[in-house]
Amino acid sequence: MLNLGEVLTAMVTPFNSRLEVDYAKARELAVKLVDEGSDGLVVAGTTGESPTLSKEEKMKLLEAVVDAIGDRAVVVAGTGTNSTADSIAMTKAAAKVGAKAVMLVGPYYNKPPQEGLYQHFVAVARETDLPIVLYNVPGRTSVNILPETVARLARIPNVIAVKEASGSLDQVSEISRTTPPSFQVLSGDDSLTLPILAVGGRGVVSVASHVAGPAIKRMIKAFFAGRVAEARDLHLKLLPMFKACFVTTNPIPIKAALRLAGFDAGGCRLPLVEATSREVEAIAKAMSDLGLAVGTRAPKGT
């Protein structure tokens, strides 16, 4: 079974000044993240502004990242949509360009019942040999993939993990209790990573790791080495940064943070907008308090 690792970064999609995908910058960012300790990269996920990327852009972006990092890290393609047929097509396309796994978000907007969710994921799993990571984020999809549904899906050989962003430790605990030991539970919320590790989690699909990857990796390593007090202290130190990354809709803050850190990944496509000056100030303070270098070229604010 594919080991996804402890820190996967949900990678932003760099844009140029015309808000076109900057594939060269994406390659550069991918290498930077892996150099800083990311075990994997999630490409064209929510943080990568997948709702406003075309299918062609997603595949070209994925191809660029795969080419840039090779086998140094696991490249996970965000191929889930609220259309089962489209999810299957995207998954097959991702396999052709070298993805090592795919991440399938719960179908959004059409609000399927639990049986519909189960059948959706089963249908995709039957059409691919790639490992599948389920992505439960009810705050965006409006539907919660319940633990009993995750447990059913975990019996499918190529469904290997879940990114859990329900915000419920009870739910994560129930998933850990009812799925096989080999099934990988990943935190989908930076601020809940340490608590989730305590109830069976293996790691995190992180946003903050764009700027704080080494510290997040140290926290997870400390926990698994039994240095729980050290992990707790790192968690508490990182917490303001975790919160700042979600001071407004993701990925607006993390793109601002990257620019403050000296890596300009461009703006966001509408309907997302730039961080306001107040939001930028909050992000800069959190970065400074964490000891991260904050550049003099501030992100554009309103």
Catalytically active residues are: 135, 163
Pick from 255, 236, 248, 251: nearest CA to 279: 248
- The per-type count for the chain, helices as H runs and strands as E runs, is 12, 8
Euclidean distance between the first and the last CA atom of the chain, given in angstroms as a whole number: 47
What is the CA angle 4-198-196, rounded to 5? Answer: 60
Q: Write out the E strands in 56-125.
A: 74-78, 101-105
Q: Which residues contact 265 (CB under 8 A, 6 or more apart)?
A: 12, 13, 14, 15, 22, 25, 29, 255, 258, 259
Tokens describing residue 241: 């940064």
What is the CA angle 106-205-285, rounded to 5? Answer: 120
Tokens describing residue 295: 């550049």
Tokens describing residue 4: 């996804």
CA–CA distance, 54 with 180 (Å, rounded to integer): 36
Cα 121 from chain centroid (whole Å): 19
Expressed in percent and rounded to 5, the helix, strand and coil fractions of the chain are 45, 15, 40
